Chain A
Amino acid sequence: MGEVELSCLAYVKMYLHACLFPRCSVNGLLLSSSPAGGAVCVTDCVPLLHTHLPLAPITQLALTQVDVWCAQTQQRIVGYYQANACVSDSSPTPCALKIADKIAEQCNNAVLLMIDGGKMSPDYRVPPIVMYERKDTRWTLKDKHTIMLRQWEETRDIASQLLDSGDHSLLVDFDSHLDDITRDWTNQKLNAKIAELASPANDNLGVCQLGNPVLR
């Protein structure tokens, strides 16, 4: 099926979200600022919850609010990510499938991304993620060769740097926003920090296709 590209910004925030709440399952939405049609470019993400993922009210609320924000900022919800608390099992839970289904109703080639906690170590060589796409009402594993992360090594280094500096605690998910509504779930501050650390884009360096070793 279609190609999916995961931006540095989206990956780093997703990864930091999982690191910020290591004892909880966490989830969030994947966004795209590219028009529909062709490859899916995940350009950003919104971290949602770290408590009670299966419960409906806050999830519904978050989906509505993110929808509104997307309309205002010319973005679309193109997918969903989740990291399970139990690292030995990174398969999508019923709640993950449900939310992904809902997203797929509005977005043809929506993706479901599971972060594999078992593969998150300080020196991991490949992105610890598994992607699923919808084929005839079922979510099936995506061919690794269709998933791309540009500037992978740089992305990975940025994530490590933010963890080491403790800046990952800047990340606000929707749950945290509800605990203190002065906190910004669009994460403008963290976005700026990530942009600061990212060098000017160079398409030829460190492109990572999940199915292949890193190209140089």
Chain B
Amino acid sequence: MGKLRLRQIPDQLKVIELIIQKRGPESGPLTQGSAYARARAEARRARATSPPPRDSRAHRRSLLPRSPAPRPRPSLEGLPEARTDAAMSELVPEPRPKPAVPMKPVSINSNLLGYIGIDTIIEQMRKKTMKTGFDFNIMVVGQSGLGKSTLVNTLFKSQVSRKASSWNREEKIPKTVEIKAIGHVIEEGGVKMKLTVIDTPGFGDQINNENCWEPIEKYINEQYEKFLKEEVNIARKKRIPDTRVHCCLYFISPTGHSLRPLDLEFMKHLSKVVNIIPVIAKADTMTLEEKSEFKQRVRKELEVNGIEFYPQKEFDEDLEDKTENDKIRQESMPFAVVGSDKEYQVNGKRVLGRKTPWGIIEVENLNHCEFALLRDFVIRTHLQDLKEVTHNIHYETYRAKRLNDNGGLPPGEGLLGTVLPPVPATPCPTAE
């Protein structure tokens, strides 16, 4: 933490600074432990004896000619003293109340109009996120050859999929479903994202595909289990590494008829465990009418079979969300996409596309395919929501079930001598 910021933060955080200076910066939790308690007591004593520092400053400033209110300096706790000072100079300086504990709103005289500044919390969160970065884990499922790796590369405009690493395209189809996770750190506009792409080669490629979704379900539950174990730990990490699958892109083959039985089975089993976004792959084989007919049929089939894909109806928080998501659910999804990592010249611009003897298909042209819609949906508008639904709903469901299975006790070794039961393969209830 930079020293500049700490100077503006009231007592509690000053306390932390004291501790850091004494102990040196550590990753351990600073808000716990006896050292902290001692430091707090010290600060309290100091406060009691000396006058509140802010009062004196305020008093001093009221004698000076009024200066234009400076911008609220962004600080971790959001108490822009500058503004209040400017306002204060108008009135008789009243004895200000004791400096508030951070996060409590400063009690300003209600005669004052205007701006408190709590909306700057967004700016602060943004800055914090930029510093710490965030994780996003996306899984791609579908038969081989549907363009999964290419699409992920196109989505994130970098070579992030299995295709890019040393894997040889000429490899044979694996006999069972494998799970391959590849992580990359990509940066844009100062924001770092640790992106993990989880590929599932071998899904749906065999003659007998019974239960080929089981390894995938097992993997997803294992990630929840890992997170649960970390949460339940006594000495928790400050930031638990999040390997849970936030989003699963399911690739539907563009047959033009209907969903395949395997698609139905997979989505039935997994829509309760992870956010599934169905996507129609290689959509350049369908004309506009065929596309819209196929999408309607797919939507109807999903509805009839009770499969809730993301964004799920039951998790719409307010009316605004509902209308926005309804529009997406009923009109755009499933997105019919085309992926490409090759560039061609069209009208003087270089675009990503596919060049055929009868024309060039532009990936980012909305008249050609819905890739731009998918990208905006997953990355630009609903990325955070995907993570939140995974954390607040899917993970909590898993956790509740695990605790119930364990008799209401958190799973863990050495906790009252309970031994951790093994991760069940298909723990979550499917909609009947």
Interaction A to B: no
A contacts, CB < 8 Å to B? none
